[in-house]
Structure 1
Amino acid sequence: MLASDHRLGLAAEAFIFGYPLVSNVRLSVRTAAEGIGPIRPAGYNAFAHETEPPAPLSCFVSVDNDALCSVAEVDLTPGPLVLRIPDTPDRYSVMIFMDAWRNNFAYVGRRTTGGRGGRYLLVPPGWTGSAPASLARIEAPTRLLTLINRFGFDGPADIAAVSRLQEELDLSPLDSEARRAEGPPEHSKRVCDDLRFWEELRIWLRAYPPSRAEAEYARHFTSLGILDDPSPYVDPNPGLAWSLRTGLRAGRDKLERVAHAGRALTNGWVSTPHALDFNLDRLGPGTIDDPAWRISDRAQARLARAMAARLPRGATHGYEEIQASRAIDTDGRQLSGAHRYLLELVPPPQAAFWSLTMYDAPEYYLVENPLHRYSLRSGDRDLRRGPDGSVRILLQSDPPEDGGPLDNWLPAAVGDFRPVLRIYEPGADVLDGTYVLPPIRRIDRSPGQPIIRTTVHRGVGAPGQAGHPGGQVSLDDHR
């Protein structure tokens, strides 16, 4: 088979286009049937909850230690659903609405409603029925959705209050006689495993069509059979099958290269506030429809969507939350528990709170320590602050010397480690780059010790960039 087969290049391009849909629907099916990490299975159109704070060796890497999550896999095929969200005026909360293509298309929470809850009507595309005017309508771009809710909590004593809020989350059919949701259509068992991705893309592209602009783009792949019915993959043409198998590997390899190409560091911190700006067509309540939050080039937007699909679900646009991670000190050396470090943090402008969480490296699990302290937060009452509000945070594996106060100590791993700063509802100075995070400075260097400068880049696909219980799908799952 000639490498010049034009369908090979098309297949690589089609893999990047279809990967978010296929990986996300697979994960939806798996979560509904098996649960995800500590969250039990609940089927479709029901919430399941994270009931305990994350701990070291959690099921998730770079786990969010600031909020407890609730997840609902949603199928609107039988008809609209009524969503009930409780009032949360005094704590951080956000409900993330994500369509089958991995687009965040709506948010409800503290930033958007001031923590005011309510009853919302989730309607499938094209629905024209009637409903009570008291229900706030949210039109879904696809009939398959994922809802991820996060309630902030203030330590173990606050868990019971969060659990009561979680129990108030509810999904119920608008029509009490609507049939039971069954989830996505299954692919043909007659298709061989190494063409399974293409069969699933063919079926789910039909079941959950993208926006008009992206549907027009999908016609570009007509010769690959993804728009055909019946399936061309049951008894495929040998030339087509070779192109699909080889093109899938080429597309997968491209995503790996992009993931490990690295990104520029800002004072040693890595952040991607615009990683979710690929939703160009279907922006609903709580989103910001502004050129500053859109990737204008559709080819780049598709690549960004595919990169986001590599990560755990639950990430948000930068205007909801920003994460910044750091792996090196001011000298370019890997952060290590063999040394002591100081972060002199001028609090970032925000409307909710900030937190600094410690993870080991390279696994990115929470770090076990005698205080059971995994994060420091802006709301911590014992945190010592300077006259200007700045916080001097000690990052080290051992307690401060000479029995010093522990209030500003964030215990580090004995080996390599990586702290992550999260800023919830970041202010304008954070979003426009006016606010710059300070470096992390090593404070135990011997006089005259030589400096060896290195550069560490974390690719977009570094484990757990999002770190929420939304699940993650490996590229190796796609054959």
Structure 2
Amino acid sequence: MTHRRTPALICLLVAGVLAAAGTGPAQAVPAGAPNAAHAALIAAKAYAYGLPLMEFERVRAEVSNTTCSGQGGDSTVNALGSSEHFMPPEARTVVAPNVDTLYSMANLDLSRGPVVLSHPDMGDRYFSFQLMDPYTNVSAYVGSRTTGSAAGRYAISWSGNPETVPGTETITVEHARIWLLGRTLAGDEADRRAAVEKMRQYNLTPPSGTSRSAMCDFGAATPIDQPEGVAWLDALSAALTRNPPPRRDAAQLDELAQIGVGPGLTVSRAGLSPAAHAAVDHAVRAAAAGVPEAAAIKQRTSALQNHGWSVAPDNLGDYGTDYLTRAGVAEIGLGANTPEEAAYTPAFQGADLLPLDSRVSSYRLHFAPGQEPPVDAFWSVTAYDGDSYLYPNAQNRHSVSDSRPDLIRRPDGSIDIVFSHSRPADPGVNWLPVPDGPFRVYLRMYAPQASVLDHTWNPPGIERY
């Protein structure tokens, strides 16, 4: 859906930018160049447009720096790295980490030919390999939901240099540079070891013919510093050169080109006045601060309308020209699945629409008999602290899932999940320890059924207990 009106967020950002930058006395504007106000508006749009691509580039750089061990290589381009451990509670590199699936990751470059992804027979274990383009749209899936669990070999081929590989099923994508993100269901320690044995059989074979896969520690990736202001825009232009944007973005790119943003462009060569150049720099910095807050406000507004749960947008992973939604997801949930693969529903408030806080009360999430999340794979409920990080606790317990044998059901089949700082007295509940203060909850549903996708099934509110 194309935005025909300038979103209110960007208007507010630009107003603040002009006030902060101070345009000073009126200056002559070169013919055809935007004035300070217009340039700031375009710069704010450029940030929203380019954030997902810049995050894609950041992840490629950070994953390439990850140290991997084991026969077969490292985690550089066209090499698959898999993690055999969940993210530990003390880690602060990932917000709201998943503790139900183990991750695999690869940066693909298909310009010299197809890369072959292979996996063993996975039995009834859920797994998926998500292929994302540089703009964080999902290009395709390999996995239990889409291609089945039998052992398979898939040639991932770029449409610009299409080739087939004998003995494989071809998956054609529109970009030469692709982010591959794998998820493999794992439970308790014994099940985690079984999952890792399957993952050790994942293989990625580049055009050179040498299989490259290894076990990695993604939590040890070295963070990459990001440029700011005008430097960020020039880095975006370089990224656009490496990752040609889709044709549907032509109108947006024509507008961004007015301030020197686009493949082969730089802001310094856009002919901007000093005031416009300063406004552009301030606008990018303001947008970098404003997008996270706007995404959080959008989530909380949705939660107020849905008994405390925030409902994800229906176009998750397939954004078209909805650049603001795409930017918001890149900020708070980079690498999100499409709703058909997984539905994400965070809760920030209880059913009373007040913030979740264990100092005020304990809380209960109750699924009545036959009313647990309708999925074809599995569902999980994970508790986090007020900043969306895992809460260290003596039980080392962070989630409840129907995929795990320790899930407690009442005699009538109902399920109670209690969130509290201290262990509840009732042995018939599933206890998730939470900090002594604010906390958050995420409900994840993998391979959700139609009633989740059309919102005829919604989770009940989290009640005081």
TM-score band by shorter chain is: 0.7 to 0.9
User: Per-residue deviation at 1:111?
Assistant: 1.1
SS in structure 2 of the partner of residue 359 of structure 1: strand
TM-score by length of 2: 0.78
Question: Compared with structure 1, are the counterparts of its residues 113 and 193 closer, same or farther at alpha carbon in structure 2 (3 Å cutoff)?
Answer: closer
Contact 2:46 2:261 in 1 (8 A): no
Contact 1:273 1:322 in 2 (8 A): no
Aligned to 1:410: 432
Selected match of 2:184 from 151, 156, 162:
151
Q: Deviations over 1:45-65 (max 9, x none)?
A: 111222113332233221101
Q: Deviations over 1:196-221 (max 9, x none)?
A: 22222222212211211113531233
Amino acid at match of 1:332: L
SS in structure 2 of the partner of residue 49 of structure 1: strand
Question: Compared with structure 1, are the counterparts of its residues 199 and 384 closer, same or farther at alpha carbon in structure 2 (3 Å cutoff)?
Answer: closer
Amino acid at match of 1:113: T
Task: Tell which has more relative contact order, 1 or 2 (C-alpha 8 A, sep 6+).
Answer: 1
User: Per-residue deviation at 1:278?
Assistant: 3.9
- Residue-pair matches, total: 403
Identity of aligned residues (%): 29
What is the CA–CA distance in structure 1 between the aligned matches of 2:64 and 2:450, rounded to whole Å? 38
Amino acid at match of 1:279: Y
For structure 1, which segment, 406-415 or 137-146, has the greater mean C-alpha deviation from structure 2 after superposition?
A: 406-415
User: Per-residue deviation at 1:194?
Assistant: 4.3
What is the CA–CA distance in structure 2 between the aligned matches of 1:332 and 1:5, rounded to whole Å? 39
Amino acid at match of 1:268: G
Amino acid at match of 1:8: A
Instruction: Tell me, yes or no, if structure 1 residue 241 matches structure 2 residue 277.
Output: yes
Instruction: Tell me, yes or no, if structure 1 residue 32 matches structure 2 residue 32.
Output: no
Question: Compared with structure 1, are the counterparts of its residues 233 and 144 closer, same or farther at alpha carbon in structure 2 (3 Å cutoff)?
Answer: farther
Contact 2:112 2:207 in 1 (8 A): no
Contact 1:383 1:407 in 2 (8 A): no
SS in structure 1 of the partner of residue 297 of structure 2: coil
SS in structure 2 of the partner of residue 154 of structure 1: coil
Question: Compared with structure 1, are the counterparts of its residues 388 and 349 closer, same or farther at alpha carbon in structure 2 (3 Å cutoff)?
Answer: farther
| Unaligned stretches of 5+ residues in structure 1 | 178-191, 281-297, 444-479
Amino acid at match of 1:274: D
Contact 1:31 1:41 in 2 (8 A): no
User: Per-residue deviation at 1:193?
Assistant: 6.6
Q: Deviations over 1:47-90 (max 9, x none)?
A: 12221133322332211010100111122233321121332231
Selected match of 1:274 from 293, 306, 314:
314
Aligned to 2:344: 323
> Which runs of structure 2 are paired with 1:293-304 in the superposition (5 Å)?
298=321, 301-304=322-325
Q: Deviations over 1:190-245 (max 9, x none)?
A: xx974322222222212211211113531233322234747564897654633531
Amino acid at match of 1:355: S
Instruction: Tell me, yes or no, if structure 1 residue 353 matches structure 2 residue 386.
Output: no
RMSD: 2.8
What is the CA–CA distance in structure 1 between the aligned matches of 2:200 and 2:149, rounded to whole Å? 17
| Unaligned stretches of 5+ residues in structure 2 | 1-22, 27-34, 211-226
Q: Deviations over 1:116-173 (max 9, x none)?
A: 3411112224114x43343222222222211110100121111222222222222222
Instruction: Tell me, yes or no, if structure 1 residue 366 matches structure 2 residue 390.
Output: yes
What is the CA–CA distance in structure 1 between the aligned matches of 2:358 and 2:331, rounded to whole Å? 30
Contact 2:292 2:328 in 1 (8 A): no
Contact 2:302 2:311 in 1 (8 A): no
SS in structure 1 of the partner of residue 423 of structure 2: coil
Contact 2:416 2:429 in 1 (8 A): no
What is the CA–CA distance in structure 2 between the aligned matches of 1:421 and 1:235, rounded to whole Å? 47
Aligned to 1:42: 75
SS in structure 1 of the partner of residue 200 of structure 2: helix
SS in structure 2 of the partner of residue 112 of structure 1: coil
Question: Compared with structure 1, are the counterparts of its residues 23 and 196 closer, same or farther at alpha carbon in structure 2 (3 Å cutoff)?
Answer: farther
Amino acid at match of 1:241: H
Instruction: Tell me, yes or no, if structure 1 residue 384 matches structure 2 residue 408.
Output: yes
Amino acid at match of 1:27: V
What is the CA–CA distance in structure 2 between the aligned matches of 1:324 and 1:66, rounded to whole Å? 15
What is the CA–CA distance in structure 2 between the aligned matches of 1:228 and 1:328, rounded to whole Å? 43
TM-score by length of 1: 0.76
Instruction: Tell me, yes or no, if structure 1 residue 9 matches structure 2 residue 49.
Output: no
Amino acid at match of 1:198: L
For structure 1, which segment, 76-85 or 94-103, has the greater mean C-alpha deviation from structure 2 after superposition?
A: 76-85
Amino acid at match of 2:180: L
Instruction: Tell me, yes or no, if structure 1 residue 19 matches structure 2 residue 51.
Output: yes
Contact 1:97 1:147 in 2 (8 A): yes
SS in structure 2 of the partner of residue 226 of structure 1: coil
What is the CA–CA distance in structure 2 between the aligned matches of 1:230 and 1:6, rounded to whole Å? 19
SS in structure 2 of the partner of residue 148 of structure 1: strand
Contact 2:230 2:284 in 1 (8 A): no
User: Per-residue deviation at 1:26?
Assistant: 2.6
What is the CA–CA distance in structure 1 between the aligned matches of 2:433 and 2:381, rounded to whole Å? 11
Aligned to 1:448: none
Contact 1:99 1:146 in 2 (8 A): yes
Instruction: Tell me, yes or no, if structure 1 residue 92 matches structure 2 residue 113.
Output: no
What is the CA–CA distance in structure 1 between the aligned matches of 2:461 and 2:381, rounded to whole Å? 14
User: Per-residue deviation at 1:327?
Assistant: 2.9
What is the CA–CA distance in structure 1 between the aligned matches of 2:111 and 2:464, rounded to whole Å? 56
What is the CA–CA distance in structure 1 between the aligned matches of 2:445 and 2:76, rounded to whole Å? 33
Aligned to 2:200: 167
Aligned to 1:210: 245
Contact 2:241 2:263 in 1 (8 A): no
